[in-house]
Amino acid sequence: MAGLLLPLAGFFVYAVHAQDGFFPVLALALLVDIAILFSFQRRLQRKQAEVVIQKEDFFEKTNLLKAELENDRAEIAAFREEIVAYAKLKGFAEKVSNNLSLDDTADAIAHEVGEMLKFPGATLLQYLIDPKTGGLGLVHSRRDGHAVAVHNKNGDIFDRWVVKTLQPLLVQDSRTDFRFDTEKVPEEDRGVRSVLSVPLLVGTRLIGIFRFDSPVPGSFSKEGLRFLRTIGDVAAVALENAQLFDRVEDLAIRDSLTGLFLRRHLWGRIAEEVGRHTRLETPLSFLMIDLDHFRKYN
């Protein structure tokens, strides 16, 4: 720019001290300089436009990199959560498998589930199928780690739905869920507003139900349902093994046909009672009864 202006200034000074005929030459030079300046301006505008486009591309690439970084962070966080969840499941499986009897296994499962899934103010209910009646029977009820009394020991409309469909259940608000008529719920149980429940299945055989309920709507999520369902799969296998163990133990001391205790159990119990009464120095009676025609009952 300065290289163009300096010659023009020199021509102007010369024209002032020279003849008047030099002014057309000066005007022509000025027009040439203006044309050159316009050319420079167009080149400058093109350069500026290219810089703007490059800046936009840079910002777009930066935003894409930020989005990819956030996505990677979310995936890493989700992966960490899965690792923690699997670690919890591994510990859960180890702890419940250390118990053999059904009562001990059910106690351990209820305790561990309550520790892993902490829903403040929610009630944990564990039902098992009664082998005699085929219906549900309540074996555990807890709230915030403490035992609580439950009026309905055989389940309500939510539990019957799970038994009928063999599907997990998530109710965000019982008053607006079209699947259930809350008028059929007993008055003392109508405080239940949200429910999270899964069937304990081994194959297609129902062993029991795990359930959380809360008086607050929206207390549970789909993620909680998914995790409880996974826990339920592990718990169902542990409960089935415990039932088989109890069955084997029962067959070892009872006759499979009559359900009466076997002689080996009698001798063991006699030894225990004799020892106990000997220590306490109390009398001990032994009564034998003969049933005539017992074969009719056998």
- Helices 22-97 and 2-17: crossing angle in degrees, nearest 10, is 160
Given a cut of 80, whether residue 236 has pLDDT beyond it is yes
Q: What is the mean pLDDT of residues 151-157?
A: 84
**Strand ranges, E, within 9-56:** none
- Helices 222-253 and 22-97: crossing angle in degrees, nearest 10, is 20
- What is the percent of the chain with per-residue pLDDT over 90, rounded to a whole number? 14
Looking at residue 105, what is its pLDDT? 85
Are 219 and 194 in contact by the 8 Å Cβ rule? The answer is yes
Length of the chain in terms of residues written: 298
Looking at residue 21, what is its pLDDT? 60
Whether the model clears a pTM of 0.85, i.e. scores above it, the answer is no
Beta bridge partners of residue 129, listed in sequence order:
136
Looking at residue 279, what is its pLDDT? 92
Given a cut of 80, whether residue 15 has pLDDT beyond it is no
Q: What is the dihedral of CA 16, 21, 24, 29, to 10 degrees?
A: -60
pLDDT in tens, 194-226: 999 999 998 888 999 999 999 999 999 888 888
Collapse the DSSP code of 195 into the 3-class scheme (helix H, G, I; strand E, B; otherwise coil) and give the result: strand
pLDDT in tens, 248-295: 888 888 887 777 888 888 888 888 999 999 999 999 888 888 888 877
Looking at residue 190, what is its pLDDT? 62
Collapse the DSSP code of 197 into the 3-class scheme (helix H, G, I; strand E, B; otherwise coil) and give the result: strand
pLDDT in tens, 85-108: 666 777 777 777 777 788 888 888
Q: Which residue has the tokens 């959560």?
A: 81
The whole-angstrom separation of Cα 196 and Cα 2 is: 81
Sheet (strand 146-147) strand order? 146-147, 136-143, 123-129, 205-214, 194-202, 169-171
Given a cut of 60, whether residue 4 has pLDDT beyond it is no
Looking at residue 163, what is its pLDDT? 92
Collapse the DSSP code of 150 into the 3-class scheme (helix H, G, I; strand E, B; otherwise coil) and give the result: coil
Given a cut of 80, whether residue 164 has pLDDT beyond it is yes
Beta bridge partners of residue 169, listed in sequence order:
197
